[in-house]
Structure 1
Amino acid sequence: MNSLRIEQLRAFIESTDTAILVKDEINVGYFSGFQHSEGVFLLTYDKAYLFVDFRYFEAAQKYAVGCEVICFKKLIDDISEILKKECVNKLFAEANALTVSEFNAYKKRFEEHQIELFCNEELDKTISDIRIIKDQTEFDKILKAQQIAEKAYNEVLNYIKPGVTERKIAIELEYLMKQYGAERVSFDLITITGSKTSLPHGVPGDDIIKSGDFFTMDFGSVYDGYHSDTTRTVAVGFATDEQKKIYDIVLKAQLTVLEQVKAGKTCSEIDKVARDIITDAGYGECFGHSTGHGVGLEIHEAPNVSLRGETILKEGMVITDEPGIYIPQKFGVRIEDMLYVTENGYTNFVSLPKELIIL
C-alpha cells in the first residue's frame, strides 16, 4: 500500500522542479513503511528517498518500502545534493512539523544551495486527507490493538473492588495489554473512581475504590503503530438511582449516534445527535468535549466529530463515539466505541457490552 500512498502524495507536486520534504515522524513512517525517530522522507516528481542516520540504516534497508534509503551525514547537504541532481529548486515542507526557528534555519541553509523552502498548510491538509482513509491493513492493525485492549479489560475487571487504588488498576491494565501483545498503551490510561469520574481526563492516583463508586476506564493499546481507544464506566457494589439515570442518558446518546453514522453525514451532524439528547435531558453544560475524533497512527487525528466539524464522513474513516456527562464533585459517565465508517453504516471495533455493569 506504500506505493499508493506515495502516488497520492505525489499528486501535490505540479512540476519537475518541485519536491516534498516530510519531517513529521509519523508521516515519515506512513509513507516509507519504516517507523523511526530520526530522519526525513523526500519525494520528487519521479523518485522517493528515506534519509536516516547510521543507527537506523540497516533496519531501514530491510523494512522501508517504495523508496531509496540514504544514510545521511549532513542532512541538509545530502538532501540538497539529491535535489540538485534532479533539478529541483522548490521544496515544500509540512507547516505543523517545523517550528518557526527550525523553518528559518532550514530555509537559510537550503537557500545556500539555491533551493527555496516553503511551509505550506495545504501540504499538511493533503497528507491528512490521505491518512484519514484507512486501508484493510490499517483496519486489521486497529482491530488487533482493540482485541488486545479488550482482553486486558475483561481481566482487569476482577481487580476492581473496594480498597484497591486507581493506580493499581492502571498498572495492572497496562501490564496485561503489554503481556497480550501491545507495543505500548495508546495514552496515559484513565482509571478513576468516585467523584474523580467527573474529570474527563482524570489522572489515576492513590484514591481508593469504595462501594457505590462509579469507576471509569479510558484505555487503548498500540499494535504495529496503530492505536485503539475505548471507554467504559462501571459501578462498584451498587448504583444509586441518580447514577443509573445519568448512565442511561449517556447510553441513549451513544447508541443514537450509532444509528446515524454512515458515509455522507457531516461530523457536526453526528455530534449534534448526542449533544441534543444530553441537552434535552438537562445536562448540556455537563458535556463539554466533542462526541468523537479520528484514531489511527495517532490517538487523536482527523476527523474531529464536534459541533464545528465540517468533514463529511467517508468510507474508511475511523471515528470514536464517546458522549459523556460529568457532574462536578459527584461523578461522571462516558461510554466510547471506535467505528470504521462504511457506505451504509459502520463496523464497530469494540465488542464489549455497554449495559451498566455492577461489580
Structure 2
Amino acid sequence: MDKPNGSAKRLQGVPGRLAQLRSEFPALGIDALLITHGPNRRYMTGFTGSAGIALVTQEEAFLVTDFRYMLQATDQAAEYSVIRHEAQIFQTIADLTSKLGVRRLGLESRHVSLQQSGQLQAAIGSLEYVQTEDVIERLRDVKDEEEIRTIREAARITDAAFTEVLNYIQPGVTERRIAAELEYQLRLAGAESGGFAFIVASGERSALPHGLASDKEIGQNEFVTMDFGANVRGYLSDITRTVFVGNPSERHEELYAIVLEANMTTIAGLRPGMSGREGDRLGRNVIASYGYGEQFGHGLGHGFGLEIHEQVRLSPESQSALVPGHVITVEPGIYIPGFGGVRIEDDVLITDDGAQVLTSSPKELLLL
C-alpha cells in the first residue's frame, strides 16, 4: 500500500505548488515540464483562461498565451513571466526552451495529442522528450486550506439548490426540467455554473447509475435520483440524493435503508492511512450483507476538485492510502433493472483522525 504523504504542512498556493513540482524534477530526469492540461495549468498558475501552455524550469516559470488573455494572465499568474505567442505556440515554446538551455523536456503524456506531439517535434526537434504521467495530478490530490474553503462553499451552494428544487418535483414534470431548475438554483446561490452534466433519473430509469436527464415525466410512486454539483471558482461539488414521489412500498424503503446504512457506515469508518480498497469495503460489505452485492457495480467514491473525477479512489482495486486533505465522494448505490435504484452521495474531507462531511442535505427518505 502506498504510504500517506500528504499530512505534512505545505507552503500554500502557487509558490508552494511550484516548489513541490520542482522537487520532482530530479527523479523524473527532466530540466523543465511543459503543462498543457487545462486543470493542471490552472492549478499551477492561477490562470483561469482557456488557452495557454505553461513551462516550468528549476529556476523560472513561463505562461505562453495569446493576445486575448495577456492582461488576464499577467494579473492572475503573478509567479510567471507571461509571453504572447503569435501563430504557432509551439514555435514560441521552441524559442524559449532553446534560450533557456533546456535539454530534457517533460511532457504530460496523457494530455498531449498526436497532433501536438507532431507540432512539438517539428518545432523543437533537438530536445529529448520525457513522458511523465500524473505528476501534477498527484500534487492536486491533497487540497490546501483555500481549496478546501472553496469546496465547502460549493457544497453549501449545492445543498441550497437541493432544498429549492424539492418544490418542483412532482408527477408530470420532466427530468430535464428538474435538471434545468437545479442549474438555475445553483447559479442563484452563487455558483459560476453546474459542475458537470447532471443525472436526473426517475422510476425504472433510476436503475441507471449514469442516467442523464431525459424527457421522461416523473410518475407517481417512484424514486427520483439526482446527481449534481456546483462550480465555484473552478472547484466542484458532487452530491446525489434520491427522493420518492408518492407512497413507497416496503421494497422501496428497504433499498433506501440499506444504501443509507452503507453511506453512513463508510463515513464513520474512514481514516487516514486506510487504503482506497479498505474504504470501499466499508460500504460494499453492508450492501452485500443484504444480498445486493451484484446490484452495486461501481466504486464507492472518488476524489474531486478542479475535475469531477480525480486520482483518489474508493474502489476494490485501489491500494493508494487516504491522507488528510483528500476530498472524496462516498456514493453507495443499489440498481435493479425494471424496478429502480437508489444512490446517496456525500462529499467528505479526510482529516487527521477521520472524515468530515461537507454536504448537509437531509439523507432520510423524503416523500414528495
TM range, normalised to the smaller chain? over 0.9
Query: Whole-Å Cα distance in 2 between the matches of residues 345 and 17 of structure 1?
Result: 37
How many equivalent residue pairs?
Answer: 354
Query: Whole-Å Cα distance in 2 between the matches of residues 82 and 103 of structure 1?
Result: 17
Contact 2:235 2:307 in 1 (8 A): yes
Structure 1 unaligned residues grouped into runs of 5+ = none
Equivalence for 1:102: 116
SS of residue in 1 equivalent to 2:298: coil
Q: Does 1:59 align with 2:72?
A: yes
Equivalence for 1:93: 107
Query: Whole-Å Cα distance in 2 between the matches of residues 186 and 250 of structure 1?
Result: 24
Contact 1:107 1:117 in 2 (8 A): no
Equivalent of residue 43 in structure 2, options 20, 24, 30: 30
1:1-359 matched pairs, under 5 angstroms: 1-14=13-26, 18-73=31-86, 74-111=88-125, 114-121=126-133, 124=134, 126-359=135-368
RMSD of Structure 2 on Structure 1 (CA): 1.4
Contact 2:30 2:106 in 1 (8 A): no
- Range with bigger deviation, 160-169 or 227-236: 160-169
Q: Say if 1:210 and 1:21 are closer, same or farther in 2 by CA, change over 3 A.
A: same
Query: Whole-Å Cα distance in 1 between the matches of residues 150 and 229 of structure 2?
Result: 13
Equivalence for 2:4: none
Contact 2:40 2:137 in 1 (8 A): no
Query: Whole-Å Cα distance in 1 between the matches of residues 281 and 214 of structure 2?
Result: 34
Q: Say if 1:17 and 1:102 are closer, same or farther in 2 by CA, change over 3 A.
A: closer
Query: Whole-Å Cα distance in 2 between the matches of residues 39 and 155 of structure 1?
Result: 39
Structure 1 residue 17: deviation in Å?
7.4
**TM-score, length of structure 1 as denominator length:** 0.96
Q: Say if 1:17 and 1:255 are closer, same or farther in 2 by CA, change over 3 A.
A: closer
Contact 1:110 1:117 in 2 (8 A): no
Query: Whole-Å Cα distance in 2 between the matches of residues 75 and 217 of structure 1?
Result: 42
- Note the alpha carbon deviations across 1:20-40, whole angstroms, 9 max, x for none: 101001111110111221111
- Range with bigger deviation, 181-190 or 74-83: 74-83
- Note the alpha carbon deviations across 1:34-68, whole angstroms, 9 max, x for none: 12211111001100011111110111111113111
Q: Match of 1:36, as an amino acid?
A: G
Query: Whole-Å Cα distance in 2 between the matches of residues 305 and 173 of structure 1?
Result: 27
- Range with bigger deviation, 27-36 or 95-104: 95-104
Structure 1 residue 14: deviation in Å?
2.5
Contact 2:162 2:361 in 1 (8 A): no
Larger RCO (CA under 8 A, 6+ residues apart): 2
- Note the alpha carbon deviations across 1:222-243, whole angstroms, 9 max, x for none: 0000000000011112111000
SS of residue in 1 equivalent to 2:186: helix
Query: Whole-Å Cα distance in 2 between the matches of residues 279 and 157 of structure 1?
Result: 31
Query: Whole-Å Cα distance in 2 between the matches of residues 276 and 50 of structure 1?
Result: 48
Structure 1 residue 129: deviation in Å?
1.6
Contact 1:110 1:116 in 2 (8 A): no
Contact 1:107 1:116 in 2 (8 A): no
**TM-score, length of structure 2 as denominator length:** 0.93
Query: Whole-Å Cα distance in 1 between the matches of residues 78 and 42 of structure 2?
Result: 10
Contact 2:94 2:123 in 1 (8 A): no
Structure 2 unaligned residues grouped into runs of 5+ = 1-12
- Note the alpha carbon deviations across 1:202-261, whole angstroms, 9 max, x for none: 122221222211111111010000000000011112111000001111111111101111
Query: Whole-Å Cα distance in 2 between the matches of residues 98 and 176 of structure 1?
Result: 37
Contact 2:239 2:359 in 1 (8 A): yes
Query: Whole-Å Cα distance in 2 between the matches of residues 135 and 318 of structure 1?
Result: 10
Query: Whole-Å Cα distance in 2 between the matches of residues 151 and 51 of structure 1?
Result: 39
Query: Whole-Å Cα distance in 1 between the matches of residues 189 and 33 of structure 2?
Result: 39
